[in-house]
């Protein structure tokens, strides 16, 4: 081998591989690229969390407003297109001088309360207490006949005669013993409890004797132009759920008992204002809070205000804002949840001008 050939081979051996400086430069460039990719990933994840949380918040608000709207607009429903009936004869259901669980239907099936009014007696055995309700939130109580109404099938011989309806209709309406029923012919109406239900000859016979009522007599002997339906008493309020988060709750009658169910989590505040008709023209002349309502029988519309927040903390910074829900200012806990206000005005179908 010639000397020049040996030097060439030796130079090639010394030049193979990467130097330490080259490796460090490559690692640095890789770290910069990875950091950029990580920033893009984190930003995309944060954007997704905000969009997902906001979507859930809007969805929850729609559910909450839908529950409230469907119930409130039917306040005082009596099976008649001409509106609610006053006065309504209410049979004392347990002999204590207080109709149970119906405290008032003559007010056209609505009553509003504030946190300061608690506790509220819903039945003789069931109350809504301050421990169950989120402070500084409102409560609304709705009384109405069920939309599942059944027509009488035969004339009543007297005001204490048993109510008879078609068996198939009674089964569809779910009439059972101890239910609180509402009967109406659009001229008069009675609220009473049924103590027994029997089926024979395609008819369902329901007794309203002294076994469940202080007396068996209704205000009149109803005929086939009358309808029978369950009386619904529904209460909406905001309380804390089992996770310690605020949620919209509903309490309703099941027979003579009250059942509580959680509807929508993330309901931070619930406020009501009542549109009162002070000139008897069927239109609301003013919207006021419950303590300022002169007569709930004159309320023809209801404003609802909801402050909703996301179930998780999704914002990069704490929320230090103050929110005005109708005429009430809410200063929430400084956390990173997103919040939105939702309002709606509900026309009562059985009151005022449609």
Q: Is residue 228 part of a domain?
A: yes
Q: pLDDT at residue 87 above 80?
A: no
Query: Rounded to an integer, what distance in angstroms lies between the CA atom of residue 137 and that of residue 327?
Result: 12
Number of domains in the chain: 1
Q: pLDDT at residue 1 above 60?
A: no
Q: pLDDT at residue 56 above 80?
A: yes
* Dihedral (CA of 89, 92, 96, 101) sign: negative
If phi > 0 it is left, if psi is from -120 to 50 it is alpha, else beta; for residue 158 that is beta
Q: Is residue 259 part of a domain?
A: yes
Contacts of 279 (CB under 8 A, 6+ apart): 285
Q: How confident is the model at residue 106 (pLDDT cuts 50, 70, 90)?
A: very low
Q: Is residue 26 part of a domain?
A: no
Whole-number mean pLDDT of the chain? 82
> For 188-244, what is each residue's pLDDT tens digit?
888 888 888 888 888 888 888 887 777 788 888 888 888 898 888 899 999 999 989
**Beta strand extents in 225-309 (DSSP E only):** 227-240, 246-254, 257-265, 267-276, 286-288, 299-309
> What pLDDT does residue 64 have?
95
For residue 129, which of 232, 239, 234 has the smallest C-alpha distance? 239
Domain of residue 311 covers 53-347
Helix (H, G, I), strand (E, B) or coil at 151: strand
Residue 309 φ then ψ, to 5°? -135, 160
> What pLDDT does residue 174 have?
83
Q: Is residue 215 part of a domain?
A: yes
Q: Is residue 30 part of a domain?
A: no
> For 28-47, what is each residue's pLDDT tens digit?
887 888 877 777 777 776 67
> What pLDDT does residue 3 have?
55
Q: Answer with the residue of higher pLDDT: 323 or 25.
A: 323
Q: State how beta strands 227-240 and 150-151 pair.
A: antiparallel
Q: Is residue 47 part of a domain?
A: no
Q: Is residue 1 part of a domain?
A: no
Q: State how beta strands 286-288 and 180-184 pair.
A: unpaired
> For 251-306, what is each residue's pLDDT tens digit?
998 766 789 999 999 999 999 999 999 998 889 999 999 999 998 888 999 999 99
Q: Is residue 147 part of a domain?
A: yes
Position of tokens 């309020």? 237
DSSP 152: B
């Amino acid at each position: 081998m010639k000397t020049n050939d040996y030097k060439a081979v030796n130079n090639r051996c010394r030049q193979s591989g990467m130097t330490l400086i080259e490796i460090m430069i490559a690692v640095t460039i890789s770290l910069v690229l990875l950091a950029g990719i990580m920033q893009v990933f984190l930003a995309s994840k944060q954007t997704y969390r905000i969009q997902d949380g906001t979507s859930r918040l809007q969805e929850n608000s729609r559910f909450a407003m839908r529950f409230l709207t469907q119930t409130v607009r039917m306040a005082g429903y009596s099976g008649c297109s001409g509106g609610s009936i006053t006065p309504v004869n209410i049979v004392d259901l347990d002999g204590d001088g207080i109709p149970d669980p119906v405290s008032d239907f003559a007010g056209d099936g609505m009553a509003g309360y504030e946190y300061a009014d608690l506790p509220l007696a819903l039945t003789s055995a069931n109350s809504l207490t301050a421990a169950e309700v989120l402070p500084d939130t409102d409560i609304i109580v709705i009384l109405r006949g069920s939309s599942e109404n059944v027509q009488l099938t035969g004339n009543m011989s007297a005001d204490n005669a048993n109510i008879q309806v078609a068996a198939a209709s009674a089964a569809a309406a779910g009439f059972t013993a101890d239910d609180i029923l509402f009967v109406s012919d659009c001229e008069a109406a009675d609220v009473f409890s049924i103590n027994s239900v029997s089926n024979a000859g395609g008819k369902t016979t329901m007794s309203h004797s002294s076994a469940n009522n202080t007396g068996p007599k209704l205000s009149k002997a109803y005929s086939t132009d009358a309808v029978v339906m369950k009386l619904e008493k529904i209460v909406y309020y905001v309380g804390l759920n089992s996770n310690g988060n605020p949620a919209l709750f509903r309490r309703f009658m099941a027979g003579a008992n009250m059942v509580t169910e959680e509807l929508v989590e993330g309901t931070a505040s619930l406020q009501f204002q009542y549109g009162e008709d002070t000139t008897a023209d069927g239109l609301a002349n003013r919207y006021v809070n419950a303590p300022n309502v002169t007569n709930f029988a004159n309320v023809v519309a209801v404003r609802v205000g909801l402050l909703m927040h996301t179930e998780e903390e999704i914002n990069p910074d704490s929320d230090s804002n103050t929110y005005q829900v109708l005429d009430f200012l809410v200063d929430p806990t400084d956390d990173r949840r997103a919040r939105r206000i939702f309002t709606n005005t509900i026309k009562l179908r059985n009151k005022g001008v449609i």
